[in-house]
Amino acid sequence: MGSPLADGCGGFHEDQLDAIRRELFQSAMKGDWRRVIHTYRTQPSAYAAQITKPLDTALHIAVSDGQERYVEQLVEIMYGKSGAGGEEAAAGAALRVRNDHGNTPLHIAAALGNARMCVSIAGRDKALVGVRNDESETPLFLAAVHGMKEAFLRMHQICGAEDCRRHYRGKDGETILHVAIAGEYFELAYQIIVLYKELVNAVNTQGKTPLHLLASKPGAFRSGSHVGGYHQLIYYCKFPALSCLFFIVLHRLANGLIHGSMDWIGGFMDQMN
């Protein structure tokens, strides 16, 4: 089980690397993260060592185990801020190591919604937000899939809107807005609309827009008293799903993308009651 940095990493031979892998694996399985920290400080070849059958590194495991403090220390060591860390290039390569699903440590942190670990990792290299796994999912996309609003917003802040636009689609043309609505994470969906207004009109490979998905989820809408007109609009907009809907409708109206009668909205609302 080889590591991307196995060759030319301080002149270590394969048997020495195997010994480091065994030591890391045993320490991680015991939850002895102080020992893992010691190994990272003394053996830079440990950074990218894949120590499990699914090809996880010690950092993958620490993230999966929710070890926020130790994740921060491991990243600091790799970047030479604590102890005898390695060079920045080696650290960057280690953070890009993918397991057998193509996931980096940041993918795992994003899927778990751990914003602190996302910041610790992505803060070192914002390009990590755009690394794709075997399902063509970026960490930003995975955060949306799982409805992890805080982690999503922190990665958005680190990456910046322009760069994130290269990372917000998955396979089949799905966008972060499609998957947030599909998962009924409407508060996150609303934030995505605010940040990436163009996604309101985005279509997947089936020609479906986010509005199509929203309309297919009547169970997400709260029914209320039979009020009409302006008061009904105010009532519905109190709830995240309907806030999404009206934001989408208003945006499409503002851009001249809806023509003719708006009676269909009333019919849509009647179906929700």
What are the pLDDT digits (tens) for 174-229?
A: 999 999 989 988 889 888 988 998 998 899 999 988 888 877 766 555 543 333 44
Q: Which of 178, 183, 153 is nearest to 248 (CA)?
A: 178
Domain range holding 233? 199-273
Q: Among the three residues 98, 128, 154, which one is the final residue of a domain in this structure?
A: 98
What are the pLDDT digits (tens) for 9-48?
A: 444 478 888 999 999 999 999 999 999 999 999 999 999 9
- Establish if 273 belongs to a structural domain: yes
- Establish if 245 belongs to a structural domain: yes
Top pLDDT among 243 and 195 is at 195
- Establish if 104 belongs to a structural domain: no
What are the helix (H) ranges across 165-239? 176-182, 186-195, 210-215, 229-236
CA–CA gap between residue 70 and residue 15 (Å, rounded): 27
- Establish if 262 belongs to a structural domain: yes
Calculate what percentage of the chain has a pLDDT beyond 70: 72
pTM: 0.79
Quick one: pLDDT at residue 242?
53
Top pLDDT among 152 and 7 is at 152
CB atoms within 10 A of CB 40: 29
- For 154-173, what is the mean pLDDT? 94
- Establish if 118 belongs to a structural domain: no
Q: Among the three residues 67, 98, 129, which one is the final residue of a domain in this structure?
A: 98
- Establish if 230 belongs to a structural domain: yes
- Establish if 31 belongs to a structural domain: yes
Query: How many folded domains does the chain comprise?
Result: 2
CB atoms within 10 A of CB 232: 15
- Establish if 141 belongs to a structural domain: no
Q: Among the three residues 40, 66, 98, which one is the final residue of a domain in this structure?
A: 98
